[in-house]
Structure 1
């Protein structure tokens, strides 16, 4: 597959110039072969991008709400039209199975953009308050730093609300999976986005990411990534008093109450944990089950895991592909080995490489399930970011809530019960940003974000737009 857009995108121009560093290779994690390369940028590229963004801000920020919404409408139409190209790009650079890439990676961003346009048209940007007129004003230039696990959705969920708000953007996509973000930039250019409103600089975090956070011409930073890097971003941004949005790690609990449909809850929980090869920050990686149902849950989970045989992501039949990189694979294998050393009971998978003649290359791991997991252990406390599920027993509802909240993270969660009101009551007691009730579907119009060490701020819908607005009051 030929990847045409592999350069920096600054002020509407595609720049191949590197920053005295060798190009960054982009691997197909299923084959370990280099499929493209992008130039390695640095502080000089970031500065040029910021100058372009600041130059475009005065015009873009004064566009009417309807004019900005119409650009988003056109973008959504083009994204829908290019779904297959986007899906195949994601499959090549991330290793997501092509069926999943079509249904999730290439489709969810279309909904993200349409919901953002809908929210934009419904928001009040001017209100009366006594003798004051209050305006919602774009914050300025936004620096967006995005991860590799959802290389289109994560970009869209930052830059589209910022652009909708009237801001301009400097984006650093992940160097692990930059190709789909660059393809997105080209599609946005085709959709009529003016030059300089979106700028993309490729490169590593210590060079490009840090330059974005430190640059005095950046007014706000939106970062998705690890807990440790998010803390560093917040500390550095504080030196120039930038507004910061952080979407960090998670260790989400799937609470199955004693009156739930156990088979459905366990099967859906396994599917959620293994989705995208377990590389989702809100994955339900802790399954909480009444102790008297642990053996039944383990049996159901083991049977469910058997349906997730790792395979070639280009094959339509594959349900789970490789991890995104050798580094990620090695990290997940170490986590599985730690679980075994800590005494957790392995019921599916393990640290060995998956068997099969077709899997002689690629960063594959075996989808893995442990049961009888100690709630305070490594498996139950640390974000593994791979297809590893920890099943934990509990005595009563109070203990289930306590275990669910026994985490420094607070991003996602789920509750299952035959009584929806009971499930809602339990969900409200879990300290997390989102909770799915009885398999409730993801809603791209609802606020997405976490509490505790999962970060702060919200993405998507009107809440996502609000992150990039401040209030100005005029008194009469």
Structure 2
């Protein structure tokens, strides 16, 4: 990749001022697939200065200009969509077919949704009918640091970059150093689409380096971060000195509540959703709570579904899951599987070690634990691997209590054929999002959580609101 070692600052690809080499590892082979540069303070300062200089002009751009630019970005993105899927597959191990459809597809999905949301968005208007002399203005917050994770690179990059652009903000993107190739390609797309110099900047770096520097920088007005709850705490502390806005989308430990009257395919579908992307999704339904009268049957169905899942290299075609992203992630998941065994959970599928025939690469066996309780680590910690924990419940009230007994509150799932029960439980579980009977949420709906899952909302008009200041002006002259 031509620009692998460079940063994009003020509309140009530039060599690092304060950089050091970092190998990007192919998770399927454990070998370097590219070498990038990690930036330092001088690079961070240059990127922030470029964004700060571009803000006075870009904030005054019209909605029509921004829509036109976003449509240009979408056109270029669509032309390079397969290339994007290939980059993501190499860097973080998503199977190539899944990567081209799901991983790359999230980028165009969010671009289209934000274009429509921006067209519908009103930046100015009166407080209410009859009070036209009180005027409300939504204006861009300023320079934004956008820090994104490795697990769904284009999903998170477009959920931050595009609304920041749409609202008139300028920005610095710091992608995960473990999945930087897709961000470099995305930056080439932004350049080709004609984003004005300084409006969008990108530099690679790690969390303790560039991530911390951006979070604490006096000329950054907002930090939008997606990643671990631990890192979210550190960013919040770093940002507190300058009282900048911090938007966080953090971890999850979703409960999938399967009532006795659920669809017969609910368990198998829950396994598929849990293990998609090799379980590396913050909104994965990793706790399956099953009504006791159906529990034994559900465990058998989960065993069959897990054992039917194949594991293979990301470069191979076909329906399978790939490796975890890194040695660190592999070690963490192996440790949590062992903890589940040690704590007395009933291991009914998978377990520690690599799948048979895969002796190299960060591959994990699709794993299911039955007969868990909510005190176990595997029921409380975000595993971020292909691991499902199952537990029985007796009543609707028990199911709600177990689902809510967690530090997280991102996504919960409900499976029942009773519409009133579905509505009742959806209102009772404490999470930013709920999916009922496998039905996902529409384009432009808000993505975000409660409690230690974060405090932001991404997507649609809510995603635009994240990057706006609201001003109220009294005595506005009325024509």
Range of TM-score over shorter length: over 0.9
Q: Deviations over 1:182-237 (max 9, x none)?
A: 11011011111111111111111111001001111100000111111101111221
- CA separation in 2, counterparts of 1:404 and 1:461? 28
The answer on 1:431 being equivalent to 2:430 is: yes
Q: Which residue of 1 aligns with 2:158?
A: 156
Give CA deviations for 1:233-287 in whole Å, capped at 9, x if unaligned. Answer: 11221110001100111000001112111x3110111011101010000100000
Hey, what's the Cα distance between the residues in 1 that align with 2:418 and 2:425?
11
Paired with 1:214 and 1:105, the residues of 2 have a C-alpha distance of 31
Deviation by residue 1:356-414 (Cα, 9 ceiling, x = unmatched):
1xx23211110100010112211111101111000111011000000000101000111
Partner of 2:360: 361
1:12 alignment counterpart: 11
| Structure 1 partner of 2:199 | 197
SS, match of residue 246 in structure 1:
strand
Unaligned runs of 5+ in 1: none
Tell me the distance in 2 between the aligned counterparts of 1:100 and 1:398.
38
Correspondence for 2:102? 104
Q: Distance in 1 between matches of 2:349 and 2:43?
A: 47
Alignment check: 8 A CA contact 2:85 2:99 kept: yes
More divergent stretch after superposition (29-38 vs 441-450): 441-450
Matching residue of 1:313: 314
**Is residue 142–residue 170 contact of structure 2 (8 Å, CA) maintained in 1?**
yes
Describe how 1:252-291 pairs up with structure 2 within 5 A.
252-261=254-263, 263-291=264-292
Question: 2:415 — aligned with what?
Answer: 416
Contact 2:20 2:39 in 1 (8 A): no
Q: Report the alpha carbon displacement of residue 132 of structure 1 after superposing the two structures with TM.
A: 1.4
Show CA shifts across 1:55-103 (max 9, x none). Answer: 1111111111111011111111221221110000000001000111011
Q: Which residue of structure 2 lines up, in the alignment, with residue 22 of structure 1? A: 20
Q: Which residue of the partner structure matches residue 445 of structure 1? A: 444
Corresponding residue of 2:125: 127
Q: CA deviation at 1:441?
A: 2.0
The 8 Å contact of residues 278 and 321 in structure 2, kept in 1 or not, is answered as yes
* Equivalent residue for 1:35, pick from 21, 33, 36: 33
Map 1:37-436 onto structure 2 (within 5 A): 37-129=35-127, 130=131, 131-261=133-263, 263-356=264-357, 359-436=358-435
- Secondary structure (helix, strand or coil) at the match of 1:143 reads strand
Aligned-pair RMSD on alpha carbons? 1.2
- Asked if the contact 1:410/1:431 (under 8 Å) is kept, the reply is yes
**Structure 2 CA distance for aligned equivalents of residues 462 and 398 of structure 1:** 34
**Separation (CA, whole Å) in 2 of partners of 1:295 and 1:99:** 34
TM-score by length of 1: 0.97
CA contact (8 A) 1:221 1:242 kept: yes
Distance 2:105 2:77 in 1: 8
Deviations 1:82-137 (A, max 9, x none): 11100000000010001110111111110101101110110111111222111100
Q: Following the alignment from structure 2 to structure 1, what is the Cα–Cα distance between the partners of residues 359 and 443? A: 38
- Aligned-pair distance for 1:3? 5.8
Q: Given that residues 10 and 199 in structure 1 are in contact (C-alpha distance below 8 angstroms), is that contact kept between their aligned partners in structure 2?
A: yes
SS of the counterpart of 2:470?
strand
Relative to the length of structure 2, the TM-score reads 0.96
Which stretch shows the higher mean deviation, 7-16 or 87-96?
Answer: 7-16
Q: 1:343 to 1:3 in 2, by over 3 A?
A: farther
Structure 2: how far apart are the matches of 1:360 and 1:395?
A: 42
Kindly state the Cα deviation for residue 318 of structure 1 after the two structures are TM-superposed.
4.1
C-alpha distance in 1 between matches for 2:217 and 2:77: 31
- Report the secondary structure of 1:465's partner residue: helix
In the TM superposition, residue 5 of structure 1 has moved relative to its aligned partner by 4.3
Structure 1 CA distance for aligned equivalents of residues 384 and 2 of structure 2: 28
Q: Does the CA-based 8 Å contact 1:274-1:367 persist in structure 2?
A: yes
Gaps of 5+ in 2: none
Match of 1:456, SS state, is coil
Contact 2:336/2:383, CA 8 A, preserved across alignment: yes
Kept in 1: contact 2:3–2:184 (CA 8 A): no
- The structure-2 alpha-carbon separation of the partners of 1:442 and 1:86, relative to structure 1 and needing over 3 Å to count, comes to farther
The answer (yes or no) to whether the contact 1:18–1:40 under 8 Å persists in 2 is no
Check the 8 A contact 1:420/1:437 in 2, yes or no: no
Greater Cα shift, 330-339 or 97-106: 97-106
* CA distance in structure 2 between the aligned counterparts of 1:218 and 1:336, rounded to whole angstroms: 41
How big is the shift at 1:6?
4.1
